[in-house]
Structure 1
Amino acid sequence: MASLQHLSPQPLWHWFEQICSIPHPSKHEQQLIEHIKAWVETQPKVTLKQDATGNLILSKPATPGMEDRKGVVLQAHLDMVPQKNNDKDHDFVTDPIETLIDGEWLTANGTTLGADNGIGMASALAVLQSDDIEHGPLEVLLTVDEEAGMTGAFGLQSDSLNGEILINTDSEQEGEIYMGCAGGIDASLRLPVSYQAAESQTAFQLTVKGLKGGHSGCDIHLGRGNANKLLGRFLFAAPAELQLALAAIQGGSLRNAIPREGQAQFTIASDKVDALNAYVAEFTAIVTKELSVAEPNLTIELNGIDAPAEVMQSASQQTLVNTLHACPNGVVRMSDAIEGVVETSLNLGVVTVAEGTATILCLIRSLDDSSRNNVETTLAALAQLAGAEVSFTGAYPGWKPDNSSPVMALVRDLYQELFQREPDIMVIHAGLECGLFKKPYPEMDMVSIGPTIKFPHSPDEKVHIESVAQYWQLLTQLLKAIPAKD
């Protein structure tokens, strides 16, 4: 692990180094929670309570003379997305993140870094620990399980917080101020799969790898390859005379990460191997040309494997392949109201086959509920044609932009004063927790800021070191500039 002790601002990086040393993937945040609780015991000015969902709410009184300011809630989530390269030996439940400094960037060794949202969490804890940062009445809300279902945000109760202003720290581009976000819903298609004895003893595994992956919201418009869709395309387009008999298929690991890798295992008659090699070469040439800019490292490999005992029956195989190939993926519609912003998208995140059932997991995002519903009905229609079951779970609302937001105007003006340039006021195509917070706290004024984080939800995740210093300057000056209560 690279030492972060020489980086500035040191209070923030000191906390981020601690966070990286403690495993905290989604649904496994308890070790980090206990560490924070133990730290609070050493802080006479900080109090802590934990709600029934597991969220932490830390409080600190105002700096003397600022007791009349509006109360502020700094908010971050405790968990990180666990993604690693296939050749990386790493257990996210037990192993620390191995940080690396690469020029202007901080990244990790073959895994996600957890800058999403570890930098925001570190900044909030650093503010609590500092005696030099001026602020009014302050609360810090650290939610659980944001990345795997926003469980903590869903469970937040209306009597948990006292602040009038919430500053979300989960944005990922310095110079952009977020005042709205997409809502979303998980979709699951389940198809029955029947098997028969394998007739051929010649078997192969086709592997798609080297894709960039990334955040299924923030990166969905970049035209990156989806390993699951490439596998479906390969199998659907395979010449009939090859008579591929599919034994297994797997791709992706999270519904909110663009899948970087996938594998399909199948048998083939031994006299068809040359034709198979020719088809793989042709397919590879086509898709690598199509994706040459977005995916320069795309690799498709064909390797011999031990023959499986069973393969899918022809009808089951065809239904699964048809469904995978026909399933929507990527940008569905751009916003008419906000130029350059995705309105509605779908990420075909995970494909698995186990115990006679093929499962396809997707995440639908939209700024508009009716557009999201339209994609849901599209998947429902596809499921009906395929004879599959479909379910929709975990729906969460978007955060509707408020152009009259006082805190947004304050951040905008302060940013311009500090850095001599205008920030971009944005709506993000990702699920910030602010939309859910608006249900128990409809009158709370909210804004989201953060440093520049590239490729979140993938092992290429990295955070720009200088932007962290700019974010810290903006955050601490914002706390000082919060106005008095009305």
Structure 2
Amino acid sequence: MSNLSQLAPQPLWQWFEKICSFPRPSGHEAALSQFIQQWAKDKQLEVIEENVGNLIIRKPATPGMENRKPVVIQAHMDMVPQKNADKVHDFTKDPIEAWVDGDWVKARGTTLGADNGIGMCSALALLESTDIAHGPLEVLLTVDEESGMTGAFGLQPGVLHGEILINTDSEQEGEIYMGCAGGVDAAMTLHLATTAADADRQTFQLMLSGLKGGHSGVNIHLGRGNANKLLARFLFEQSEKLGIQLVDFQGGTLRNAIPREAEAKLTIANTQVSLLQQAINEYAALLRNEFAVADAGVKLTLTEAPAATEVMTQDAQQQLLALLNACPNGVIRMSDEVEGVTETSLNVGVVSMKDNQATILCLVRSLIDSGRDYVCGQLSALAKLAGAEIKFSGAYPGWKPDNTSPVMAIVRDTYQDIYHKEPVIMVIHAGLECGLFKKPYPEMDMVSIGPTIRFPHSPDEMVNITTVGQYWQLLLAVLQRIPSKD
């Protein structure tokens, strides 16, 4: 960690080193929020905590720039808590172990929190600065972005003074975002009848692991394996052939992260164990061939487990496996309007079982409402056929692109002047909070920028050091070019 504070730009990285010591998964931002509030008060900055938990911090313009349009720099405080299976880490208590690997900053066995920690730290560094020119400045730090966008939903009208908002949650240097997908959560629940397990059968745990996972918006088009889908596929194909009786199925941890691991507890007759292992070996080889480019590290492991006392009935097992196997996943449709961008997608993020009930959590994303509604209709039809209940919640709107946006033009022209090349104007398939901000602030001009972050929402998350410097340079230059009020 001592290396982080020596990286350039130092003001930003010194803040990042500080926030790595604060656990901040969604719903657990309080300690960091209290630290920031006290720091702001010590700096004699105006700080407001909204009822929902958002922080708004105001800093006056530097001399000579008082008449510039006020700007909001926006980031979210929370991070996605994902770790490797062999990593001992409590995201509600333990600090992130960040380290420098060449031109990248990574974390040891967990998500790094560069999403959106780098953006947050750039905002805090601006507030702390004494030598950076800017007009009237507000920093908006939202809560719970990763698990439900609670902070963005709860932002009240009239509390922000800014006319321009710069969102810092983008993840590719050289790209300027001016639109994003909306989304909705889907939860399917299925009652699972059980029966007593046969005492003369062996019990095993079957683990599928080694997948890359990643952000279910940013990485969904890369064709990576979904652990829930791949394990269900095997069990659907082999259960009747081998007489497998299912005890439990668990996979994934977040609806907005592509699941990297899934496991099933099962029983099987002693005479079929060798055939099960053979089928597992063949399936693992098949997957390594199918995912040779996108996800070559996939593996299946069979280990003995404590004897089961109950198993699913055959009807319940078939219902669950058929539902999981038939459920769509991944890219549903690519955009016709924005080349290379996913229009509509679905992530089968979490499968869990408790009290004889299976719950399947999915996240539907789409740039258009009709695309979202189409997938929701598919899920509703599947649930009906499988005898499952389905509920939709947490719907959030997309951010409609505005080709006439003045701040987008400022960022584009500034980037070109600094780097002598055209930035790419993009619409992102991930959900940015800008779409929700448009409801209380419909006239606010918005744009999103950020450094290059690879594999967010997974333990492979890393941020490129050089691009953090480029992002910082661009942000400061844009602030100097903000026009005067009309």
Q: TM-score, normalised by structure 1?
A: 0.99
Q: Residue 374 of structure 1 aligns with which residue?
A: 374
Q: Residue 456 of structure 1 aligns with which residue?
A: 456
The 5 Å alignment of 1:281-296 reads 281-296=281-296
Deviation at 1:241, TM superposition (A): 3.3
Structure 1 Cα separation of the partners of residues 2 and 266 of structure 2: 43
Matched, 1:118 2:88: no
The answer (yes or no) to whether the contact 1:56–1:143 under 8 Å persists in 2 is yes
Matched, 1:146 2:142: no
Structure 2 Cα separation of the partners of residues 174 and 446 of structure 1: 18
Deviations 1:410-456, CA, capped at 9 Å, x for gaps: 10000000011110000000000000000000010000000000000
Q: What letter is aligned with 1:227?
A: A
Deviations 1:43-97, CA, capped at 9 Å, x for gaps: 13x2101111110000011111111100100000010000000100000111100
Q: Which runs of 4+ in 1 moved over 6 A?
A: none
SS of structure 2 residue aligned to 1:417: helix
Structure 2 Cα separation of the partners of residues 240 and 349 of structure 1: 26
Q: What letter is aligned with 2:85?
A: N
Instruction: Give the aligned length.
Output: 485
Q: What letter is aligned with 1:11?
A: P
Q: Residue 307 of structure 2 aligns with which residue?
A: 307
Structure 1 Cα separation of the partners of residues 239 and 280 of structure 2: 11
Q: What letter is aligned with 1:238?
A: Q
Q: What letter is aligned with 1:462?
A: M
Deviation at 1:210, TM superposition (A): 0.6
The answer (yes or no) to whether the contact 2:120–2:141 under 8 Å persists in 1 is yes
Please, which moves more after superposition, 278-287 or 149-158? Answer: 278-287
Q: Residue 131 of structure 1 aligns with which residue?
A: 130
Q: What letter is aligned with 1:63?
A: T
Q: What letter is aligned with 1:470?
A: Q
Deviation at 1:41, TM superposition (A): 2.1
SS of structure 2 residue aligned to 1:400: coil
Q: Residue 194 of structure 1 aligns with which residue?
A: 193
Deviation at 1:283, TM superposition (A): 1.1
Structure 2 Cα separation of the partners of residues 81 and 239 of structure 1: 35
Q: What letter is aligned with 1:457?
A: H
The answer (yes or no) to whether the contact 2:41–2:47 under 8 Å persists in 1 is no
Q: Residue 181 of structure 1 aligns with which residue?
A: 180
Matched, 1:158 2:157: yes
Q: Residue 73 of structure 1 aligns with which residue?
A: 72
The answer (yes or no) to whether the contact 1:83–1:458 under 8 Å persists in 2 is yes
The answer (yes or no) to whether the contact 1:2–1:98 under 8 Å persists in 2 is no
The 5 Å alignment of 1:180-259 reads 180-199=179-198, 200-238=200-238, 240-259=240-259
Deviation at 1:201, TM superposition (A): 3.0
Q: What letter is aligned with 2:174?
A: G
Deviations 1:94-141, CA, capped at 9 Å, x for gaps: 110000111110000000000000000000000000011111110000
Structure 2 Cα separation of the partners of residues 5 and 121 of structure 1: 16
Q: Residue 420 of structure 2 aligns with which residue?
A: 420
The answer (yes or no) to whether the contact 1:2–1:101 under 8 Å persists in 2 is no
Structure 2 Cα separation of the partners of residues 276 and 92 of structure 1: 37
Structure 2 Cα separation of the partners of residues 404 and 337 of structure 1: 17
Unmatched segments (≥5 aa) in structure 2: none
Q: Residue 394 of structure 2 aligns with which residue?
A: 394
Q: What letter is aligned with 2:81?
A: P
Q: Residue 447 of structure 1 aligns with which residue?
A: 447
Judged with a 3 Å threshold, the aligned counterparts in structure 2 of structure 1 residues 281 and 421 are, in CA distance, closer, same or farther, namely same
Deviation at 1:298, TM superposition (A): 1.0
Deviation at 1:240, TM superposition (A): 2.3
Q: What letter is aligned with 1:453?
A: I
Structure 2 Cα separation of the partners of residues 405 and 306 of structure 1: 61
Q: Residue 95 of structure 1 aligns with which residue?
A: 94
SS of structure 2 residue aligned to 1:378: helix
The 5 Å alignment of 1:6-17 reads 6-17=6-17
Structure 2 Cα separation of the partners of residues 34 and 56 of structure 1: 10
Q: What letter is aligned with 1:101?
A: V
Structure 1 Cα separation of the partners of residues 162 and 174 of structure 2: 25
The answer (yes or no) to whether the contact 2:122–2:472 under 8 Å persists in 1 is yes
Structure 2 Cα separation of the partners of residues 211 and 311 of structure 1: 28
Structure 1 Cα separation of the partners of residues 25 and 278 of structure 2: 42
Q: What letter is aligned with 1:105?
A: W
Deviation at 1:5, TM superposition (A): 2.0
Structure 2 Cα separation of the partners of residues 2 and 351 of structure 1: 39
Deviation at 1:2, TM superposition (A): 4.5
Aligned identity (percent) is: 63
The answer (yes or no) to whether the contact 1:68–1:136 under 8 Å persists in 2 is yes
The answer (yes or no) to whether the contact 1:2–1:99 under 8 Å persists in 2 is no
Structure 1 Cα separation of the partners of residues 350 and 277 of structure 2: 27
Deviation at 1:204, TM superposition (A): 1.3
Unmatched segments (≥5 aa) in structure 1: none
Matched, 1:331 2:327: no
The answer (yes or no) to whether the contact 2:341–2:428 under 8 Å persists in 1 is yes
SS of structure 2 residue aligned to 1:101: strand
The answer (yes or no) to whether the contact 2:67–2:484 under 8 Å persists in 1 is yes
The answer (yes or no) to whether the contact 2:246–2:266 under 8 Å persists in 1 is yes
Q: What letter is aligned with 1:112?
A: T
Q: What letter is aligned with 1:28?
A: H
Structure 1 Cα separation of the partners of residues 154 and 136 of structure 2: 24
SS of structure 2 residue aligned to 1:268: strand
The 5 Å alignment of 1:271-290 reads 271-290=271-290
Q: TM-score, normalised by structure 2?
A: 0.99
The answer (yes or no) to whether the contact 1:192–1:356 under 8 Å persists in 2 is yes
Q: Residue 353 of structure 1 aligns with which residue?
A: 353
Matched, 1:405 2:400: no
Deviation at 1:273, TM superposition (A): 1.2
Judged with a 3 Å threshold, the aligned counterparts in structure 2 of structure 1 residues 4 and 239 are, in CA distance, closer, same or farther, namely closer
SS of structure 2 residue aligned to 1:333: strand
Structure 2 Cα separation of the partners of residues 316 and 286 of structure 1: 28
Q: RMSD in angstroms over aligned alpha carbons?
A: 0.8
Q: Residue 52 of structure 1 aligns with which residue?
A: 51
Q: What letter is aligned with 2:337?
A: A
Matched, 1:21 2:21: yes
Deviation at 1:239, TM superposition (A): 5.7
Deviations 1:240-259, CA, capped at 9 Å, x for gaps: 23110000010000000000
Q: Residue 104 of structure 1 aligns with which residue?
A: 103
Structure 1 Cα separation of the partners of residues 180 and 75 of structure 2: 16
Deviations 1:228-274, CA, capped at 9 Å, x for gaps: 00111001110623110000010000000000001011000001112
Q: Residue 269 of structure 1 aligns with which residue?
A: 269
Judged with a 3 Å threshold, the aligned counterparts in structure 2 of structure 1 residues 75 and 165 are, in CA distance, closer, same or farther, namely same
